[in-house]
Structure 1
Amino acid sequence: MARDRFEKILQYFHYNDSTTNPARGDANHDKIHHVRPVFSIVQRRLVENYRPHKSVTLDKAMIPFRGRVSYRQYLPAKPCKFGVKVWQLADSSNGYVYQMEVYTGKQDTGREVGLAWRVVWDLTRVLSGKSHHIYMDNYFSSPQLYQDLLKDDLYGCGTCRLNRKGWPDALHKNCLPKQKGVSKLYQKENLVAACCECPAKTEGWNACRNKGPEVVENYNKHMNGLDHGDQLRMQYSTTRRSKKFWKYLFWFLFNTAVACSFILMRESVNHQKKSKTGRVKEMCQLKFRQNLAKQLVGQHRQKRRHEVLQKDSAGRSHWPTSMPKSRRCKLCSSRKIRKESKYGRKICDGNLCVECFEPFHVLSFTEE
């Protein structure tokens, strides 16, 4: 495809009918209505084609964007400081994205425990009752959330902020000694809070001594699952510059779908290639994308028609020159126009006007 044709298609590229979206201020107004069909298809396919392992990671991803959009975020601690947040639930072993939700601002859905609680609860509905282990950072963690997940046969693990409601009072900042290698666990029913050694007691929590919290090792092992997916998604990004955010969201969905497809190919036993010694040969993502592009294009390939002047067998170009005698122009004669010219080309066997020289040759080569 020519560059200009690609840019023209991209200029008029749309994914949904904007007239079907209710006006702003309406309760049914969808802020990502432009790409809602694509988002729904990708979301459904991600769930249908994969079953996650026991451990999953819940974290946020950023779509870089500095334009005007009402739900743009500013995160100074992130490499990408301006953009739109996307909550994601990914497999901790390979980074496969299983669930997504674009943060478009506050939702008018009635009373809720909090934004972090709602995000975790919404993304984990597809795993309800399946005994998965969900790892998250301190933005989402809270004792109340872990109790609710446990009632739903889901296990939560993550770092927790000391000012969270329900956190044991004996484990606040002033009670944490600086001695390394010493830890203490506080347990309340089925919840366990782990930190450094602290001799104080707190109401409802019982101190449990042990050699070291294994939960810390598990958290460090499984929490970086979403980072693997982000690396695959951003390694060969297809994003194009635009003033409209919904186009950035489309490219984000496209790159996520390709990265997850690559993960599925690696996980599938039927797609593994082995060497003569029986060693499994891993395919790189670049090779996978090249094969994917060929499959998408298929036989729909057409050579570009170059409007250039050909050369004769002697390698001489068809440049105009003075002819021995003025005669009627061949192109003008074919158009029933009587006009003479003293210019032409001997190998073309005829005279041509200077302005008719290029159209005559382009027409001749096109018909051939």
Structure 2
Amino acid sequence: MASTSSKKQTMMFGFCEALLEEDTSNYDYNNDDYRRHTGGADSDTEQELSDDDSNRDAHVFVQENEKEDIIYTGKDGTTLWFSNPKQAKVEYLSIKPSIPGVNPFAKNAKTEVECWKLFFNDDILEDILNYTNEEITSKTFAENHNTRVHIVKETSMDEIMALLGLMYITGLNNSTGYNLTDLWRSDGTGVDIFRMTMSLQRFNFLQGCLRFDDAATRAQRSAVDNLALVRAIFDKFVGNCQKAYNPSHFLTLDVKYIPFRGECPFRQFMPKTSAAYGIKMYSLVDAKDFYTINMEINAGNQPSGPYVTSYEPVDIVDRLVRPVSNTGRNITFDNYFTSIPLVTHLLQEHMLTCTGALRKNKKEIPFSFLTTQPRGVGSSRFGFQKHMTLVSHVPKKSKIILLLSSYHHDKTFDITKCGDKPKPEMITFYNSTKTGVENVERLCKMYDVRNYCKSWPLLILFTMLNIAALNSYIVYMANNENSKLRRSEYVRKLGLALVKQHLKTRTDKNNLPRELRKRIFEQVGEPLLDPPASDVKPYKRCRDCPSSKDRKTKYCCLECKKPICLQHVITMCQNCTSLAID
């Protein structure tokens, strides 16, 4: 069964784009028997929870406990759990879920660029333009006289847009981490759009000069904030993500790791990842549509001041769920975050339910939930309180799985593929909603704009561009209901649309090779006009000079029209010339 599930999971991620094209309208959030599966790989800490995670459209049954009305006491000696939900006097969270979809102000965004600009709006782009030009100006004075002027000159908004567009096309060509020189080759193996838009030297120069904060106040701000270099645009971007889209009822909160080995004040060692070092980021995403709602960067030990931040699990969750507070949604997270105080806090302060794996060292867990004796393989034990449910499941010999949920309040089991050893519906629900952040990361990696860099602010920009491409695609598909555009085509059209205006500007340059000019005109959809006839007269040999001198001249006699050099010309002013003519 495990191999079958693994195969189906592999097929799912091979066609993960199809998940984003699913109809989101026929979705009943009031149904307690939620059975929608989104798939995903198992995490390192919950391998057993995903043995049966491929199809949740199942009939369910309620398994009655052999001994009713049992009261379990936690290891702390005070926490009580009831084996019967009627004993616990369960209370359900009574908030009508909001309808997911695009918010009203984003409904008019129909094209690729319009949807993308919901996230990278003019405010963010103007900040990038202004601060980048400041950096270019400071570099210009340090360059020697042999530097070509057209490479180090200031940039414009059209060129910044073109730069970002080329980054998207780079990701579309799977060039992450590779030498970008291959994309600019003129021997037929390169990609024409890169040479048409700008030179490789200009691309590298602009990318190296990208800045997102005021250099004049940078030292002062960096003294109290590790994220001072990206704080402004990152907060604006996250705010735009929250305003554009209303997520579904089921959300996922998890850690996202960005590999990075360069110099960074808050770079962390990540032993469970292949990169080993990188930047840690927390994300709140839609478990169904994979839309990113909120993000937060772990800035490490902040200096004393207004940006000192606690990265305790309860505090992280409390900050990330604020955009969906008091909406009755359910948050799924792993055992790093799950605790009984957190579940209580989300219910009381945010009116949110949650589902998560629970570590065995929690003092509120009864001892009988931590042992497999005399229980058999496949058995489950439930504990109920007024607002939450604890389940202990034995997936195999000497293995215990613990889940805590304030969304589930009964002994429902899923028997679709479990046969005579069904799993609690809490576990299959957890498996289907826990991989939202992982799925977003997989989708972003398919067309990753990242390339080799030593600057962590630039790495944050790459992450924002990846998220913006995915979020804007979700908005685009929602606003164009009849569209069947694949995400790869969307990214391609977005990249070409971002470079189009800059290509039109380049058509005014007369020093471009004719073949390159022809391709640019074809790309922007305009006819190539032949340049006007030049008024410059051709050089000819002076008739009055001996042929041995072979002296060329562009002047000729007004009377006989013979070519003549200035040595054989009588110079006269206009007044004298007019008198001589008279």
Give the TM-score of the pair, scaled to structure 1.
0.72
**Paired position in structure 2 for 1:353:** none
| 1:165 CA displacement | 4.1
Matched, 1:242 2:453: yes
Q: Is the 8 A contact 1:185 1:194 kept in 2?
A: yes
**Paired position in structure 2 for 1:99:** 294
**Paired position in structure 2 for 1:299:** 501
| 1:92 CA displacement | 0.1
1:53-68 maps to which residues of 2 (within 5 A)?
A: 53-68=248-263
| 1:69 CA displacement | 1.6
**Paired position in structure 2 for 1:10:** 207
Q: Describe the SS at the equivalent of 2:255.
A: strand
Match of 2:364 among 166, 172, 182: 166
| 1:155 CA displacement | 0.3
Question: Deviation digits for residues 206-232 of structure 1, max 9, x if unmatched?
Answer: xx8775521111101111112221122
Q: Describe the SS at the equivalent of 1:86.
A: strand
**For residues 342 and 214 of structure 2, what CA distance do their matches in structure 1 show?**
39
1:103-118 maps to which residues of 2 (within 5 A)?
A: 103-106=298-301, 115-118=312-315
| 1:93 CA displacement | 0.3
**Paired position in structure 2 for 1:36:** 231
Matched, 1:81 2:276: yes
Q: Is the 8 A contact 1:95 1:228 kept in 2?
A: yes
Q: Higher mean Cα deviation, 42-51 or 240-249? A: 240-249
Q: Is the 8 A contact 2:355 2:430 kept in 1?
A: yes
Per the alignment, do residues 209 and 177 of structure 1 end up closer, same or farther by CA in structure 2, a change over 3 Å counting? farther
**For residues 66 and 34 of structure 1, what CA distance do their matches in structure 2 show?**
18
Question: Deviation digits for residues 66-115 of structure 1, max 9, x if unmatched?
Answer: 11223212222223432101100000002111000000114568999961
**Paired position in structure 1 for 2:379:** 182
Matched, 1:289 2:491: yes
Per the alignment, do residues 111 and 287 of structure 1 end up closer, same or farther by CA in structure 2, a change over 3 Å counting? closer
Q: Aligned partner of 1:2: which letter?
A: S
1:290-329 maps to which residues of 2 (within 5 A)?
A: 290-301=492-503, 302-303=506-507, 305-306=511-512, 325-328=548-551
Q: Describe the SS at the equivalent of 1:300.
A: helix
**Paired position in structure 1 for 2:191:** none
Aligned residue pairs total: 298
**For residues 266 and 249 of structure 2, what CA distance do their matches in structure 1 show?**
33
Match of 1:272 among 472, 475, 482: 482
Note the aligned Cα RMSD (angstroms). Answer: 3.1
Q: Any gaps of 5 or more consecutive residues in structure 1?
A: 199-207, 274-281, 309-323, 335-348, 350-368
Question: Deviation digits for residues 19-75 of structure 1, max 9, x if unmatched?
Answer: 32454885xx22122122221221111011100100000001111101122321222
Greater RCO, 1 or 2 (C-alpha within 8 Å, sep 6+): 2
Q: Aligned partner of 1:154: which letter?
A: L
**For residues 345 and 393 of structure 2, what CA distance do their matches in structure 1 show?**
26
| 1:168 CA displacement | 3.1
**For residues 103 and 289 of structure 1, what CA distance do their matches in structure 2 show?**
29
Q: Aligned partner of 1:228: which letter?
A: N
Q: Describe the SS at the equivalent of 2:245.
A: coil
**For residues 465 and 269 of structure 2, what CA distance do their matches in structure 1 show?**
24
**For residues 111 and 244 of structure 1, what CA distance do their matches in structure 2 show?**
23
Per the alignment, do residues 114 and 243 of structure 1 end up closer, same or farther by CA in structure 2, a change over 3 Å counting? closer
**Paired position in structure 2 for 1:321:** none
Per the alignment, do residues 84 and 97 of structure 1 end up closer, same or farther by CA in structure 2, a change over 3 Å counting? same
Q: Aligned partner of 2:468: which letter?
A: A
Percent identity, please: 25
**For residues 307 and 259 of structure 2, what CA distance do their matches in structure 1 show?**
31
**For residues 25 and 13 of structure 1, what CA distance do their matches in structure 2 show?**
18
Q: Any gaps of 5 or more consecutive residues in structure 2?
A: 1-197, 399-409, 414-422, 515-546, 556-562, 564-582
Question: Deviation digits for residues 108-159 of structure 1, max 9, x if unmatched?
Answer: 6899996111111100111111000000001111111001111121001010
Match of 1:124 among 313, 316, 321: 321
